[in-house]
Amino acid sequence: MTVYDFTVKDRQGNDVSLSEYQGKVLLIVNTATGCGFTPHYEPLEAMYKDLKEQGFEILDFPCNQFANQAPGSDDEIHSFCTLKFGTEFPQFRKIDVNGETADPLFAWLATEKPFEGFGKGLKFAALKKFTDMNNKAFGDKAYIKWNFTKFLVDREGRVIARFEPTVDMKDVRAAVEAAL
């Protein structure tokens, strides 16, 4: 199985086969507009502008499962992202990434590259404590621990890396450049 076997919904609710992205390096991310990590949109957009011509795509999936940090409609979320951060990369319909209603794409991504921790230090420990509480409701289907989890997919559709939101965006960019 590869990422190309999945179909997702665009903001208007139309089916989009991820096979449309075949041969490209993908960074698939679950996002939220009211999160402490929302400023990640800025380096994501910069990376997209710089690397798009080399066959790079960012696929943005808003999610409201983490402290209700993406409460708006698909159109409201899209307007926020384009006006505040100038995002041009594809943004899809808001989804769930955990639990019984988790989008199959994110369940697969997280199975391919499971959570390995947020890192070390006080900030990371605090985030882990909060996410552990938040994710209790999802049990063994707590695939994603927080907003702005990123999955790097190679040109063959295989998941090659997972980046938690605590990973420095410079490290994410370096991995994307290496994959290109």
Rounded to whole angstroms, how far apart are CA atoms 76 and 147? 18
Look up the CATH number of the domain holding residue 17: 3.40.30.10
Nearest to 155 by CA among 21, 23, 2: 23
Q: What is the pLDDT of residue 49?
A: 97
Pairing of strands 150-153, 7-9: unpaired
Average pLDDT, integer, range 67-87 = 88
99: amino acid identity, one letter: G
Q: What is the pLDDT of residue 159?
A: 98
Residue span of the structural domain in which 94 resides: 3-179
**Number of domain units in the chain:** 1
pLDDT digits (tens, 9 = 90+) for 125-142: 777 777 887 788 788 888
Q: What is the pLDDT of residue 84?
A: 87
pLDDT digits (tens, 9 = 90+) for 143-178: 999 999 999 999 999 999 999 999 999 999 999 999
Q: Enumerate the active-site residues.
A: 35
